[in-house]
Amino acid sequence: MSNVIVVIGPGQIGQAIARRVGVGKHVLLADLRPENATAAAEVLANAGYEVSVASVDVSSRAAVHALVETATRLGDVTGLIHAAGVSPSQASPATVFTVDLYGTALVLEEFGNIMARGGAGVVIASQSGHRLPALTAEQDRALATTPVEELLRLPFLQPDQVIDSLHAYQLAKRGNSLRVMAEAVRWARRGARVNTISPGIIMTPLAKDELSGPRGEGYRRMIASSAAGRAGTPDEVGNLGALLMGADGGFITGSDFLMDGGVTAAYWYGELAEVRAPHAD
């Protein structure tokens, strides 16, 4: 039986991490659109990886559970890379919550039930989660620990409280890091670890769409005002993902790693602070 790495959302970031942690293992690529998983599988297979593909809708418990069963038939699941999600430019607040918040909590629960001892997971969150002003302690705990099937019923997530997709996205990504912190306690009982990475603007096809979209000017200003003065690359996220999932990251779990070239620092305390507005990204 192989050791299995499951990649949900095998875009540029998911592939970059998988390349570093999937050597000698079976890499299972899962996406809502089978053609995306197949295209990623071809790239990895041509580079010498053992790969297979599956389709999954992370907003469906039945679909996520079916993916877990597929993965466990292949071998011991020693790694999870969860990089699936929708951006605020792509979806309504309700869809952002269903996919990015509920879907992530569902994946963490289902894979946390079967993760092999010594295994590790990485969830891709976002710098947006660090732009949201502080929530109350009660709200933090609710996002972290509310049973998955009750999560979308939380009062502060309702349509009268969250009217735009960007605010929903910020709440969802803050929720991802909080959820991972709580799940790390549960995963530890199986001898497994899980962390989040909150990337900034990483040059992927999706980011290029955003840069040419209605928020493009704001994104360009973020890059120009950051300490790095540039966007990041998927391989840089891959390097951090490999640390968190490998032996060198054995003391790290329940943590969130912001890697945005200093954009969030500039947002709160630098040049971008002067234009900061509620729910701005």
Residue 192: per-residue pLDDT: 98
Q: Are strands 26-31 and 75-82 parallel, antiparallel or unpaired?
A: unpaired
Would residue 169 show up in a list of annotated catalytic residues for this protein?
A: yes
The string of pLDDT tens digits covering residues 232-270 is 999 999 999 999 999 999 999 999 999 999 999 999 998
For 26-52, the pLDDT digits (tens) are: 999 999 999 999 999 999 999 999 999
DSSP, residue by residue, 78-127:
EEEEE-----TTTS-HHHHIIIIIIHHHHHHHHHHTTPPTT-EEEEE--G
Q: Is residue 149 part of a domain?
A: yes
- Which residues constitute the domain of residue 76? 2-202+232-262
Choose, from 169, 219, 267, 269, the residue flagged as catalytic: 169
Local confidence pLDDT in tens for the 281 residues of the chain:
799 999 999 999 999 999 999 999 999 999 999 999 999 999 999 999 999 999 999 999 999 999 999 999 999 999 999 999 998 888 999 999 999 999 999 999 999 999 999 999 999 999 999 999 999 999 999 999 999 999 999 999 999 999 999 999 999 999 999 999 999 999 999 999 999 999 999 998 878 877 887 778 888 999 999 999 999 999 999 999 999 999 999 999 999 999 999 999 999 998 777 555 544 44
State yes or no: is 173 an active-site residue: yes
Say if 217 falls within a structural domain: no
Query: Residues 115-135, buried b or exposed e (16+ Cβ, 10 A)?
Result: bbeebbbbbbbbbbbbbbeeb
What's the number of domains the chain is made of?
Answer: 1
What residue type is assigned to position 63 of the chain?
A
Examine residue 17 and state whether it is found in any structural domain, yes or no.
Answer: yes
Catalytic residue among 25, 173, 219, 267: 173
Domain assignment present for residue 241? The answer is yes
Task: Evaluate whether residue 163 is within a structural domain.
Answer: yes
Classify 24 in phi/psi space as left (phi over 0), alpha (psi -120 to 50) or beta: left
Does a structural domain hold residue 277?
Answer: no
Query: Does any domain span residue 281?
Result: no
**CATH code where residue 45 lies:** 3.40.50.720
Asked if the structure places residue 226 within a domain, the reply is no
CA dist., res. 139 & res. 58, Å (int): 23
